[in-house]
Structure 1
Amino acid sequence: MKKQAVAAGFVLFSFMLTPKASAASFDQLYVFGDSLSDTGNIYKATGKTFPLSPPNFEGRFSNGPVWVDYLGDQLGLKPTLVSDIDFTTIPPTPFPTQGINFAFGGSSSGLGNAFVPDPNLPGVLKQVYGFAATLQANNQTADPDALYTLWAGANDLFFVNSEDSTTPITNISLALNTLVGVGAKNIIVFNLPDLGQLPAAKINDRNPTTLSKSVGEFNLSLAGTVSALSQNPNLNIISVDTFSLFNQASTFGFTNVTESCLSRPDICNPVDNKFLVWDGFHPTTAAHKVIADTALAAIEAKSVPEPSTELGTLLAVATFGAVGILKRQQKRSALTTAGLVSSAQSSHTVDN
């Protein structure tokens, strides 16, 4: 684990951005989030002890690839794990020509980790702050033809305060506006599934009703944030409605939506199963594939599905059929500065 990548200052390096030919094609993929989007950062940060792999798949919180893997394959992009980058070399290696995955399992929506008691692990807002601070320190802007993804909030409700939807919404709004402020143009935003319906909602003295209520409040507020940003004609804000996807799971062939796959070893097939949930908290790889297909369909349609204004109302979601693979640009951004830039945001209150 390259500790420089996740130290208190959360350092990054800068990129020189070159003009691209088409805003509809993405040349890089930047991922900000928690365990739902982590493809190995927390696994490396904990010396490959968390999550336990196997039964988890190669440091992912699932039994196979997660949505980032699937969407990346569909776009022809594989972002480099920030924990894989050696910042002690000049230039840092490996050179992340296709973007960076900043997501860490357990990340809160704010500055720290809601699950792993390690101050060096960045929350989602800190991931974004670090990225933005590096660009600003070098008088640069974000690649306008890259795709940026943000998914967070579940850890705040599961591990910090199940009744507080305001803090994660505030953090996510700050993160989104920060990305927009440094020049990001294409941003995918995920709402939360009904956490009260997950198997984990019934353990450790959690109250499923409270979780469901908070998710409803969270999703409603997130819809307002996305709607406000969408008024900017220069932005392409794409919503992925996981709340509806999980509620409609049976239409995608999932036959067990109430139990986790790991809790039923007698019938759980880790390769090809019909379980929606893998371990009580996280989707199975089959569910991640549906999420990725939904995201790609929304990208191709250039649509922004409107989240529901009522907790119980199912949202309109993108059509799930055969979807083509987006072309991507071959130009890569060139590394221009090898120096590390501190981006600690000490004045912001940590929410865990």
Structure 2
Amino acid sequence: MKKQAVAAGFVLFSFMLPTKASAVSFDQLYVFGDSLSDTGNIYNATGKTYPSSRRYFDGRFSNGPIWVDYLGDQLGLKPTLFTTIPPTPFPTQGINFAFGGASSGLDNAILDNRGLPGVLKQVLGFAETLQTNNQTADPNALYTLWGGANDFLFLNPEDSTTPINNISLALNTLVGVGAKNILVFNLPDLGQIPAAKNGNRNPTTLSKSTSDFNLGLAETVSALSQNPNLNIISVDTYSLLNQASALGFTNVTESCLDREDICDPANNKFLIWDDYHPTTAGHKVIADTALAAIQAKSVPEPAINLGILAVGAFGTVGMLKRQQKRSALITAGRVINAQWSHTTVEN
């Protein structure tokens, strides 16, 4: 495919009930996702040619640091890029497994036939490596998961079932190997981003698929949240396009790169950098919102613990059957077992 940007997704407030924020402490940060979370993996894997424009900052799909950088600074953690280390042993600072263009499943939606892992493959590979080394996931680490947009933008805009199943399986896999603190992002209304008007895409279809995906993901989050031993923290991205103006963004519908006549990256007034990705100012909002959600959930007040889970499209819809998840995990684990060890990246 000839697309130059890969995913879409943004964040705003979690609209959480008031509660006292307290200091939080994690000893590692693991990141799974696509270009919204990639701090240089696909850039290194493609010989520093993608993203190619000099207007993109240091291998990131934005004009500056992204939410992973900002949140990492706030937590005092900096994940190591997956492409700069061997898969094992895991470094103490955690790993960023996210690859620009990652589908929700096993492969890359943009650069196919290169062995670059999709979101589910990132998680299953992580789990497989732990099991091979007779380890469990660090229960004191923070694990972040954000994906699904590329399936709608570059694969099948009408199929919400596949990305729902993939991301749900990824979440259950992390829980299955011992992860306790998981930060989960839903999707914005993809029908409202600039890319929805490009490439013969149908904004109405993208909006419906986004809604269906968010409802399915909420179902998984609701089910996992019934476990008192898990700290599932969700950040609602769906509200951003309707609320970003309240944060001081004066242009939330056009990409900064498309309006160079009025776009000054230094003034932080544009929400969107290219047709798919937030500006660094938008990413800062994401990081601040994520940190607020983390701090709120760190206060063990039973009356609001579940209420802090995101609202809107991330509201509780139901509970997935655990047995179905367990069966799907076993099947997918077998599929990925052999594939992960052969995943290579070439500079």
Runs of 4+ in 1 over 6 A off after TM superposition: none
Q: Is the 8 A contact 2:256 2:270 kept in 1?
A: yes
Residues 47-126 of structure 1 correspond to what in structure 2 (within 5 A)?
47-86=47-86, 96-126=91-121
Structure 1 residue runs of 5 or longer lacking an equivalent are 1-22, 312-341, 347-352
State the Cα distance separating 1:53 from its structure 2 match: 4.1
Give distance in 1, aligned partners of 2:296 and 2:260.
Answer: 40
Q: Secondary structure at the match of 1:188?
A: strand
The aligned residue for residue 164 of structure 1 is 159
Tell me, yes or no, if structure 1 residue 240 matches structure 2 residue 235: yes
The aligned residue for residue 6 of structure 2 is none
The aligned residue for residue 28 of structure 1 is 28
Q: Secondary structure at the match of 1:125?
A: helix
Residues 1-352 of structure 1 correspond to what in structure 2 (within 5 A)?
24-86=24-86, 96-302=91-297, 304-308=308-312, 343-344=337-338
Q: What count of residue pairs does the alignment treat as equivalent?
A: 289
The 1:86–1:222 alpha-carbon spacing in structure 2 relative to 1, beyond 3 Å, is closer
TM-score relative to the length of structure 1: 0.79
Once the two structures are superposed, residues 210-267 of structure 1 have per-residue CA deviations (whole angstroms, 9 ceiling, x without a partner) of: 0001101111111111010000000000000011123210011111011100001111
State the Cα distance separating 1:118 from its structure 2 match: 3.1
Paired residue type of 1:262 = L
Q: Is the 8 A contact 1:148 1:186 kept in 2?
A: yes
Q: Secondary structure at the match of 1:271?
A: helix
Q: Secondary structure at the match of 2:265?
A: coil
The aligned residue for residue 12 of structure 2 is none
Once the two structures are superposed, residues 98-140 of structure 1 have per-residue CA deviations (whole angstroms, 9 ceiling, x without a partner) of: 1000000000000000011233100010000110001111221
TM-score relative to the length of structure 2: 0.80
Query: How large is the Cα RMSD of the aligned pairs?
Result: 1.9
Structure 2 residue runs of 5 or longer lacking an equivalent are 1-22, 298-304, 316-335, 341-347
**Bigger shift: 155-164 or 237-246?**
237-246
Q: Is the 8 A contact 1:38 1:104 kept in 2?
A: yes
Once the two structures are aligned, what percentage of the paired residues are identical?
76
Q: Is the 8 A contact 1:129 1:345 kept in 2?
A: no
Q: Secondary structure at the match of 1:126?
A: helix
Paired residue type of 1:224 = E
Give distance in 1, aligned partners of 2:154 and 2:179.
Answer: 30
